């Protein structure tokens, strides 16, 4: 249905995206990222046209504390993977990027050679007020890059708030980067994030940090062994990488690939992706409702009044919320 309705220019953009035209790709992503409600129908027409050409890429999430070496890793790993003949798209989830000036964008200097690599495509995080809004646009940007022939998609998160969960919810393999700091570091990483990891990579395994990296890898392997495995009954692999020296990159790529192959043959990948799509549906419902409520001026003053009543202890928060919704529906 959507296909018949889509306008000529959208058909043309879809054609160009499929042909790998970079300018069309950038334009298409701008359209799906647009926050203007009037752009939505065209964005959805475009996505519907591209959908048959999506879903075959290896989707990889990369997370880790600031300074752990994500950008340096992505640059080195990207060079390796494209050198193997793959085409790599790098996207980011960073709900704070409007304030902080962007993760990947600021990092483009560190990803200088990848940014010039014809086999790679780097897209900074879209600015967004809510994590849900940013996550939606990143998911859809991912679909567009897949239709453009990128067979490996990396989604980076800067580790703000719930963004790791959002990334884990859109990728096949979630990779957690940690620095060679040993026990202290181990405590710094939230257990919830550790539980999302399919593969753990200890970065900076070179020079004076090499010994520490070996110890950190052993510590993490031990800690992960004690946790309930996410898939297939085995604890996540812990690898050591030096992005600067280029060591461990081949091992990282082969670990990611073989894990994904395991997920495919066990059927876990299709189950995972179906679960992700269902969660995406609910998060869209959630976002849309919130948008509707927040964009209504009448509702805003009502919300402020009831929020204040809840804050002062004058009203029970749950009762205030129910009253608000009843009034919102009645308005
Ligand atoms: N020795 C060494 N330093 C590294 C390595 N990877 C990153 N770094 C350094 O760690 C710092 C933070 O790296 P960056 O990639 O910006 O981390 P991000 O904040 O996670 O993106 C930089 O000074 C890098 O040069 C590595 O493999 N070896
Ligand atoms: Mg970075």
Distance between Cα 72 and ligand 2 center (Å): 7
pLDDT at residue 159, rounded to an integer: 64
The residues whose Cβ lies within 5 A of ligand 2, an ion, are: 70-71, 107
Mean pLDDT within 167-188: 80
3-state secondary structure the chain: CHHHHCCHHHHHHHHHHHCCCHHHHHHHHHHHHCCCHHHHHHHHHHHHHHHHHCCCCEEEEEECCCCCCHHHHHHHHHHHHHHCCCCEEEEEECCCHHHHCCCHHHHCCCCHHHHHCCCEEECCCCCCCCHHHHHHHHHHHHHHHHHCCCCEEEEEECCCCCHHHHHHCCCCEEEEEECCCCHHHHHHCCHHHHHHCCEEEECCCCHHHHHHHHHHHHHHHHHHHCCCCCCCCCCCEEEECECCCCECHHHHHHHHHHHHHHHHHHCHHHHHHHHHHHHHHHHHHHHHHHHHHHHCHHHHHHHHHHHHHHHCCCCCHHHHHHHHHHHHHHC
Q: Is the CB of 66 under 6 A from ligand 1?
A: yes
In this prediction, residue 184 has a pLDDT band, given cuts at 50, 70 and 90, of low
pLDDT over 80 (residue 331): no
In this prediction, residue 102 has a pLDDT band, given cuts at 50, 70 and 90, of very low
**Protein residue with least CA distance to atom 8, ligand 1:** 69
Distance between Cα 150 and ligand 1 center (Å): 26
Q: Is the CB of 207 under 6 A from ligand 1?
A: yes
How much is the mean pLDDT over the chain? 88
Task: Using a pLDDT cut of 90, give the percent of the chain over it.
Answer: 62
pLDDT at residue 143, rounded to an integer: 97
Q: Is the CB of 243 under 6 A from ligand 1?
A: yes
pLDDT over 90 (residue 193): no
**Protein residue with least CA distance to atom 3, ligand 1:** 204
Task: Decide the pairing of beta strands 199-202 and 152-157.
Answer: unpaired
Contacts of 55 (CB under 8 A, 6+ apart): 146, 273
Question: Per DSSP, what are the bridge partners of residue 240?
Answer: 202
**Protein residue with least CA distance to atom 17, ligand 1:** 69
pTM: 0.90
Q: How does pLDDT run across 118-146, given as a tens digit for each residue?
A: 999 998 877 776 777 788 889 999 999 99
Which atom from ligand 1 is nearest to the alpha carbon of 242?
A: 27
In this prediction, residue 101 has a pLDDT band, given cuts at 50, 70 and 90, of very low
Q: How does pLDDT run across 40-93, given as a tens digit for each residue?
A: 999 999 999 999 999 999 999 999 888 899 999 999 999 999 999 999 999 988
Distance between Cα 69 and ligand 1 center (Å): 4
Which atom from ligand 1 is nearest to the alpha carbon of 74?
A: 15
In this prediction, residue 208 has a pLDDT band, given cuts at 50, 70 and 90, of very high
**Protein residue with least CA distance to atom 10, ligand 1:** 69
CA-to-CA distance for 34 and 288, rounded, in angstroms?
A: 15
Pocket test for ligand 1, best of 64, 67, 71, 72 (most atoms within 8 A of CB): 72
């Amino acid at each position: 249905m959507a296909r018949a309705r889509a306008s000529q220019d959208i058909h043309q953009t879809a054609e160009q995206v499929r042909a790998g035209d970079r300018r069309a790709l950038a334009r298409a992503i701008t359209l799906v990222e647009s926050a203007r409600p009037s752009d939505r129908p065209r964005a959805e027409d475009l996505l519907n046209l591209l959908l048959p050409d999506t879903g075959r890429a290896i989707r990889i999430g990369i997370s880790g504390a600031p300074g752990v070496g994500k950008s340096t890793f992505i640059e080195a790993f990207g060079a390796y993977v494209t050198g193997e003949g793959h085409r790599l798209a790098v996207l980011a989830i960073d709900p704070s990027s409007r304030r902080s000036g962007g993760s990947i964008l600021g990092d483009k200097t560190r990803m200088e050679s990848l940014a010039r690599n014809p086999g790679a495509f780097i897209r900074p995080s879209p600015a967004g007020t809510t994590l849900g809004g940013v996550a939606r646009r990143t998911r859809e940007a991912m679909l567009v890059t897949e239709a453009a022939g990128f067979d490996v998609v990396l989604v980076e998160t800067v580790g703000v708030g719930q963004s790791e969960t959002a990334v884990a919810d859109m990728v096949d393999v979630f990779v957690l980067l940690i620095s060679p700091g040993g026990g202290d570091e181990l405590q710094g990483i939230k257990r919830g994030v550790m539980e999302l990891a399919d593969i753990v990579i200890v970065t900076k395994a070179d020079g004076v940090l090499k010994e520490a990296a070996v110890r950190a890898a052993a510590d993490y392997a031990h800690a992960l062994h004690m946790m309930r495995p996410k898939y297939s009954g085995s604890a996540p692999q812990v690898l050591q990488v030096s992005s600067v020296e280029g060591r461990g990159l081949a091992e990282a790529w082969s670990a990611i690939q073989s894990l994904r192959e395991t997920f495919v043959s066990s059927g876990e990948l299709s189950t995972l992706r179906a679960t992700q799509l269902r969660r995406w549906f609910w998060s869209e419902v959630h976002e849309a409702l919130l948008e509707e409520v927040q964009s209504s001026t009448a509702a805003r003053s009502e919300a402020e009044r009831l929020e204040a009543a809840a804050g002062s202890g004058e009203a029970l928060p749950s009762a205030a919320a129910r009253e608000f919704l009843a009034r919102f529906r009645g308005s």
